[in-house]
Amino acid sequence: MRTLFNSNPLKLARQEQGSTMLVYLFILSAMAAVAIAALQTITLNLETTQSHSKGKTAFYSAEVGLDLAVNAIITDFEDLIPYTESADDPNADGDGYISVSNYRNYAVKYKITNPLEPFLYQTVVGNTIIYHYAHTYDIEAEATSLKDSSREIVREKIRILETPLVQYFIFYGQSGNSADMELFPGPDMNTWGRIHSNGDIYIGSSSFNTISMRNYDENDNLSPHSMTAVGNIYTYSKRSGNDYADTVEVKTASTGTTPSPFETLSVNITSSNEVSEEARFNNFVLVNEEPYTTPSKDLFERGGFYEQRAEDPGKSTVDGMTIIGTGGLGSGINVFVSRPSLTDVTDLVLAGESSAGNAVPNLPMPMVRETDDAFGDCRENDRDVDTTDIDLYALGLWYEAYLEDEGLELAGDGMLIYTSRSPDSSFTNDDNDLQAIRVISIDSTSSPQLSDETTLATDNPIYIHGDFNTVDTKGVALIGDAVNILSNALTTKPCGISFFNLFQNYSASTTTVNAALFAGHVPTTGSTYSGGVHTYPRLHEDWTRRFGNTTKTLFINGSFINLWDSEQARGEWCIGGDCYSGPTRNWGWDVRFQDPDFWPPFIPSIFSVERVGFLE
């Protein structure tokens, strides 16, 4: 028997080398496969990353379209023109899109639609509820790359909240020094209603009596109340630094018609003690709040928004009228009404006729007149005042008769009247006589009852002469460069008179005004005091009667809304001499402004944006 075996070593070595080569080739193939897979993964990741980056860029570009759409809406609202939809824009394409020029290599466009009619909407401010008109918009924005195929569409719903300022008792707009609110009355003072300053608040009783900020009016009607400041709240004088701590009491509840419970303002409320102080006042006092953008005085210039809207309200529910005087450059008044179309009714108004030859019975005359040197304004460098006098009561009677002859009736949501003695928007009112508007009962037989809610706006100073809006009170806004109040007793008054003659011959009588007052002021600068709330309605008589009877009372129910520095009546505050002495002030918010039906038309408002959320 033979045993078989391989006795050739060289052959064995070659067989082992062949096996090793096969293993090596196998491993090499496996590594190549892994490498190729890795490369593919890397390539895929790079493509995914690039795609994600492109998608993000497209998304952000589309969001730019959303922001541009919101800005377009807000711009119109700040001009008091409610935005409609982008399809109404002459720059829109056939589908209603507004195209934006190249934005970072993306073509951006947006479309705005207005799916809902405006509706009343409530929010909580501090510890009170405030009303807004809510305007809802759906926005679609699209961004398409100019370099590749990336594209993104985003959709969002927003609300513009239009907040009529008649819901505030005191509101100081603007910014910086002009926004600071000061209130330092001498006697005790009860106030109610919301107070806001876009700057700091300086408040205290300069006679160390009490300012009581409560939640009810003189007739025990409940009223929302709060004090908010974009800056800080101080109980010392801005001008002198005198400290009047512990003189301001703020009620810390919204119920009950008694002053309690209340907390007393300390020397200052700032960011350093904000949390504890706001909690102490139960959020009825707030500091470091967001500022509001308020309407520009440009809206009230000749040819501006308010004159345009008085000629054509753009709303079928509002009546419009313009009354333009001469600005001291001649004689004559021009009166136009907006319905049934823009019509010159000057001759009818001056004659007291509702149509040609048809006299309005029992109509007090004149309804409108011009008066040269009506009285002196001693605060305005002893200047005489030329006025366009308007009897709003008589004018309402005439207008109703005029509409009836036209087969019409009052539109329903009030009247907007624009009046001016300025020849154009560049008028500075720096001539010898001051040009102004006076609201007055020209004839003593005039019924003191307005026909409807009324907004009267002018670029000139405005003077309210005697009791106003006291019978069947309507919601009224009076808007001017500065607001002045003359008592029932004043007939005329010169300047340059002695201190004694002022207090003997120009004594005021108790007077009541029911209106929201929108005007400018001359702010305190340095050591010169001028801009306090208690001097916001400018006075010109002896209300104190230092040589005889008791101090007379000035009743004001409404709002004090300070939106700009006065540009025509720029005289700084003065007291005594031939300026004035102070009344007993019974001033507070008219609680009837809680009812939106009481609001006059085209009230200056503030606006805010609620971004409700993205849409599918």
Express each pLDDT in 99-132 by its tens digit. 987 777 889 999 999 989 999 999 887 778 899 9
Cα dihedral across residues 325, 601, 111, 50: positive or negative: positive
Question: Has residue 229 got a pLDDT over 50?
Answer: yes
398-401 long-range CB contacts below 8 Å, 24 or more apart?
A: 398/348, 398/349, 398/352, 398/354, 398/360, 398/363, 398/367, 399/319, 399/321, 399/337, 399/451, 400/451, 401/354, 401/360, 401/363
Range name among 120-129, 154-163, 168-177, 396-405 with the lowest pLDDT average = 120-129
* pLDDT for position 188: 74
C-alpha torsion 474→475→480→482, nearest 10: 90
* pLDDT for position 208: 77
Question: Has residue 500 got a pLDDT over 90?
Answer: no
- CA dist 483 and 468 (Å) reads 14
**Which residue type sits at 155?**
R
* pLDDT for position 7: 52
Q: How many residues does the chain have?
A: 616
**Which residue type sits at 237?**
S
Element (H, E) at 5: none
- CA dist 264 and 210 (Å) reads 10
* pLDDT for position 47: 46
Cβ–Cβ < 8 Å for 213, 193: no
Q: Name the pTM for this structure.
A: 0.87
Mean pLDDT of 404-415: 95
Give the contacts of 191 (CB within 8 A, at least 6 positions apart): 169, 211, 212, 213, 214, 587, 588
Mean pLDDT of 314-337: 86
Please name the residue ranges forming H helices in 423-464.
none
* pLDDT for position 391: 96
* pLDDT for position 1: 44
Give the model's confidence band at 506: pLDDT under 50 very low, under 70 low, under 90 confident, else very high. Answer: confident
Express each pLDDT in 30-77 by its tens digit. 666 655 655 555 555 444 445 445 557 788 888 888 999 999 998 888
Range name among 179-193, 216-230, 467-481 with the lowest pLDDT average = 179-193
Find, among 389, 406, 418, 201, the residue nearest to 301 by Cα. Answer: 418
Residue with tokens 């008028």, as numbered in its chain: 427
Element (H, E) at 496: none
**Which residue type sits at 432?**
N
Range name among 315-329, 457-471, 587-601 with the lowest pLDDT average = 315-329
Selected residue with higher pLDDT from 424 and 445:
424
Express each pLDDT in 285-308 by its tens digit. 999 999 998 888 999 999 999 999
Question: Has residue 463 got a pLDDT over 80?
Answer: yes
Give the model's confidence band at 440: pLDDT under 50 very low, under 70 low, under 90 confident, else very high. Answer: very high
Mean pLDDT of the chain: 88
Range name among 299-303, 456-460, 539-543, 550-554 with the lowest pLDDT average = 550-554
Maximal CA-CA distance, the chain: 161
Tokens of 286: 């707030």
Please name the residue ranges forming H helices in 357-498.
392-405
Question: Has residue 183 got a pLDDT over 50?
Answer: yes
Give the contacts of 591 (CB within 8 A, at least 6 positions apart): 192, 193, 217, 221, 222, 223
Cβ–Cβ < 8 Å for 287, 271: yes
Mean pLDDT of 369-377: 94
* pLDDT for position 48: 45
Find, among 73, 290, 139, the residue nearest to 613 by Cα. Answer: 139
* pLDDT for position 23: 58
Give the model's confidence band at 207: pLDDT under 50 very low, under 70 low, under 90 confident, else very high. Answer: confident
Question: Has residue 216 got a pLDDT over 50?
Answer: yes
Mean pLDDT of 230-258: 93
Give the model's confidence band at 328: pLDDT under 50 very low, under 70 low, under 90 confident, else very high. Answer: low
Cβ–Cβ < 8 Å for 138, 558: no
Element (H, E) at 55: helix 9-78
Mean pLDDT of 176-195: 89
Please measure the distance between the N-terminal and C-terminal CA atoms of the chain and give it in whole angstroms: 92
Cβ–Cβ < 8 Å for 438, 417: no
Selected residue with higher pLDDT from 292 and 11:
292
Tokens of 152: 């993104």
